[in-house]
Amino acid sequence: MTWLIIISMAAVVFVSRHLLLEPKIPIRLSKNTLTFLSYSAPAVLTAILAPIVFVPEGELSISLYNPYLTCALVATVLAYVTRNTLLTTVLSMGLFFFLYSP
């Protein structure tokens, strides 16, 4: 069963990446579809990260004592100001492990 999941997921992922690179596919995605898809990266990535940050132990935690939240805020500011991926991730993760470890 696990292998079936792995292989079918791999097929879904590969097709989504490869399909529109094929010259034989006569794609004419409508302008509306393309506009809708243009929001998929921010929407999906946010939907994955938000529960990690706001609901770390299965309960809503909007508090400065939640290291996930404080470090995510720091990461957001760093990303906005520096636009530098490595700096943003390394500094915010460093802060997180500093705050998180007892």
Partner 1 sequence: MSTTQSITIPSSKMKSFLSGALAVMPLTIAVIPWGILAGSFALEIGLTAIESQAMSAIIFAGSAQLVALGMIKAGIGIGSILITTLLITSRHLLYAMAMRSQISPLPLKWRLGLGFLLTDELFAISNQAHSGDMASQHQFDRWYALGGGLTFYIGWNIATFLGIVAGQSIDNLGELGLDFAIAATFIAIVVPTVKKPSILVCVLVSLTLAVVCAVFAIQAGLLIAAISGMAAGMAYAKLTNEGAATDTPCA
Alpha-carbon span 24 to 15, nearest angstrom: 14
Residue from 26, 27, 64, 65 touching partner 1 (CB under 8 A): that is 27
Q: Which of residues 62-101 bind partner 1 (CB under 8 A)?
A: 67-68, 71-72, 75-76, 79-80, 83, 85-86, 88-90, 92-93, 96-97, 100
Q: Which of residues 4-23 bind partner 1 (CB under 8 A)?
A: 4-10, 12-14, 16-23
Query: Is there binding between residue 102 and partner 1 (CB under 8 A)?
Result: no
CB count within 10 Å of CB 75 equals 19
**Which pair of structure tokens corresponds to residue 73?**
């805020």
Alpha-carbon span 95 to 92, nearest angstrom: 5
